[in-house]
């Protein structure tokens, strides 16, 4: 349920993603050199978020945050970035959230851009359905970038090719199980939206809960409050295991 923070939300070894990466790798695109994949991925992200006038690609989310802060003339702390998997949809975003927000796959349209369709974030940071150590990390800017704003980082072409293929899978209707039978609604201690689950109990309890899930063979997000992500494929036995863990942990 960690799924690299969402960077492996379509799976760690998607066949089409691996094929795209191997094809690019066979062309020698393992180094951080300019490649055709950079422009292609930027164009694909721009199609997904047409309200944003500029797209840049970075080697990590921290680098994307630094670039966004530089363009906006302010320091952006990761904890202040609006995350639709963690913040209640009904809550109005803070001032910092209207500056920068994450977008996550499988959440309702319009909820990733600062939480409100009529008040988009100045910088949108999409969590791609494929990345390796958060590379590539796009940043979408609502306004044209000012002169001197940082450009894209050089990211190995095979990573860009894999991310592009994963985006195509997402756009062409890749579905995740809805887990309607997993009894999380009303369960104390946990809150869920789409495939994302977060703890709402005290932070001090999280190491114990994390360890108990891990002993049962379930890897939650190692960071509080996550989010953790429900798997796209799950056997009946695994689904029963998850339901039992969420029903009794924490508190029993």
> Which residue, 142, 171, 200, sits at the end of a domain?
171
In contact, 209 and 199? CB cutoff 8 Å:
yes
Closest CA to 84 of 63, 54, 113: 113
Tell me the pLDDT tens digit for each residue of 172-223.
766 676 676 676 755 678 888 889 999 989 999 999 999 999 999 999 999 9
Q: Is residue 178 part of a domain?
A: no
Has this prediction a pTM greater than 0.85? yes
Q: Domain ends where: 171, 198, 214?
A: 171
46 Cβ partners below 8 Å, 6+ apart? 52, 55, 140
Residue 8 within any structural domain of the chain = no
Q: Which of 102, 137, 171 is the last residue of a domain?
A: 171
Mean pLDDT by 10 residues, the chain (252 residues): 91 83 83 89 95 93 89 82 77 58 81 51 92 91 78 91 91 69 71 90 93 96 94 88 85 47
Q: Say what the pLDDT of residue 34 is.
A: 87
Q: Which domain holds residue 202?
A: 190-248
Residues 197 and 167 in one domain: no
Residue 179, sorted as left (phi over 0), alpha (psi -120 to 50) or beta, turns out to be: left
Q: Is residue 75 part of a domain?
A: yes
Contact between 62 and 73 (Cβ < 8 Å):
no
166 and 234 both lie in a single domain: no
Domain check: are 67 and 118 in the same one? yes
Same domain, 89 and 28: yes
25 plus 142 within the same structural domain: yes
Of 26, 136, 130, 139, whose CA–CA distance to 72 is shortest?
139
Q: Are residues 228 and 104 in the same domain?
A: no
The answer on 232 and 148 residing in a single domain is no
Strands 100-103 and 123-126: parallel
The CA-CA-CA angle for residues 59, 52, 114, to 5°, reads 85
The reply to whether 63 and 158 lie within a common domain is: yes
pLDDT at residue 28 in the model: 77
Domains in the chain, number: 2
Q: Are residues 146 and 201 in the same domain?
A: no
């Amino acid at each position: 349920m960690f799924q690299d923070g969402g960077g492996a939300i379509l799976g760690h070894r998607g066949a089409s993603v691996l094929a795209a990466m191997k094809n690019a790798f066979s062309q020698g695109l393992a180094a951080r050199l300019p490649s055709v994949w950079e422009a292609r991925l930027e164009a694909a992200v721009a199609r997904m978020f047409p309200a944003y006038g500029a797209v840049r690609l970075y080697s990590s989310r921290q680098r994307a945050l630094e670039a966004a802060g530089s363009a906006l003339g302010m320091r952006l702390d990761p904890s202040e970035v609006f995350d639709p998997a963690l913040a209640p949809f009904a809550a109005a975003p803070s001032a910092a959230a209207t500056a920068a927000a994450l977008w996550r796959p499988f959440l309702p349209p319009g909820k990733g851009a600062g939480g409100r369709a009529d008040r988009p974030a100045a910088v949108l940071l999409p969590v791609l359905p494929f990345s390796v150590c958060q590379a590539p990390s796009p940043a979408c800017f609502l306004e044209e970038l000012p002169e001197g704003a940082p450009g894209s980082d050089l990211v190995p072409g095979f990573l860009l090719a894999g991310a592009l293929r994963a985006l195509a899978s997402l756009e062409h209707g890749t579905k995740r199980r809805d887990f309607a039978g997993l009894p999380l609604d009303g369960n104390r201690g946990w809150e869920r939206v789409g495939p994302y689950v977060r703890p709402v109990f005290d932070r001090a309890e999280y190491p114990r809960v994390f360890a108990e899930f891990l002993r049962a063979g379930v890897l939650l997000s190692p960071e509080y409050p996550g989010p953790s992500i429900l798997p796209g494929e799950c056997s009946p036995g695994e689904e029963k295991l998850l339901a039992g863990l969420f029903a009794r942990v924490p508190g029993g």
